[in-house]
Amino acid sequence: MYPRAFHYHRAGSLTEAVTMLSQLGDDAKLLAGGQSLIPLMKLRFANPGHLVDLNFISGTSYIQEEDGGLRFGALTRHAEIADSALAAKIPIVHDCAAGIADVQVRNRGTIGGSLAEADPSGDWAVVLMTLATEVRCLGTNGERTVPLAGFVKDAYTTALAHDELVSEVRVKIPAKGSGGAYIAFKRSAPVYPTASAAVQLTMDGDVCKDAAIVLGCVGLTAIKVTDAEVALRGHSFTDKAIKAAMEAASAAADPQSDMRGSADYKRTLVGALVKRAIEAASHRARGEQVEVSHIYA
């Protein structure tokens, strides 16, 4: 199927793109990597009358270290992040970028577009919610910064006004003694995960000082599992502590049965993914080099 007819606009700057959105009204959509929007348009689930292309704006794709954190331009491609030595300073970020879909999608998709789409099956929101992450938004009233926890409101819904766009994503580099891991279960590389789990830990010897655990694809938004975090915080990683975290993750999941599996299957799956991610994250927190990859059915 082909998209319905639309008017194409090429923005020369982010400010110009914001102005276009304001002038064109609710019938306008932004085009970044297009990995979500274009398929929806081809299926006619999305029918914008105007498409504002951001891809020819200079200075929107970058990875920079500043003030103890990393700054990602909104149009930074997943592949750029996967290949970046700076991004590798936060291993869970590399896990995410390197594991998204296939090489074609990674070379086109963008971190800003992914967060702005707020797809419940997306990867970036799950991973970045385990870290101190802020989203910089540009609109007709200027710039504002929104913590990621308050940016994603619901499935496909964010804090962005119609005449706003994501201009930058800022992530604080975790403290020494920290490590994270992101693991998804997929039928094959190009498809969305059946379920995913992101774990970020801070260790003091064998004791967990802090933990952040977030689940993906098992709810309308990424799910932060506070009970699982409590089960680990202040404890060594005994079988009992890990089992408690797994059970908390399974209980927090709110999946729907579909072609990828039943709801009960997905609840069991997220528990297993959390266990694997905890193990990998704890080794990384101790300074060990651990390769992490997704699990394919």
Instruction: Say what the pTM is.
Output: 0.95
Contacts for 126 with CB less than 8 Å, ≥ 6 apart: 96, 182, 196, 197, 198, 214, 215, 216, 222
Q: What is the pLDDT of residue 7?
A: 97
Q: What is the pLDDT of residue 297?
A: 82
State the SS3 of 30-97.
EECCCCCHHHHHHCCCCCCCEEEECCCCCCCCCEEEECCEEEEECCCEHHHHHCCCCHHHCHHHHHHH
Domains and CATH numbers, the chain: 7-53 (3.30.43.10), 63-172 (3.30.465.10), 178-296 (3.30.390.50)
Check: CB of residue 99 under 8 Å from CB of residue 123.
yes
The 3-state DSSP class for residue 105 equals: helix
Q: What is the pLDDT of residue 1?
A: 75
286: Cβ contacts below 8 Å, ≥ 6 apart? 179, 203
> Which residue, chain included where needed, has tokens 């971190």?
111
Tokens 């619901």 -> residue: 154
pLDDT less than 50: residues of the chain: none
pLDDT of residue 216: 98
Q: What is the pLDDT of residue 129?
A: 98
The per-residue pLDDT for range 209-260, each reduced to its tens digit, is 999 999 999 999 999 999 999 999 999 999 999 999 999 999 999 999 999 9
Type of residue at 293 = S
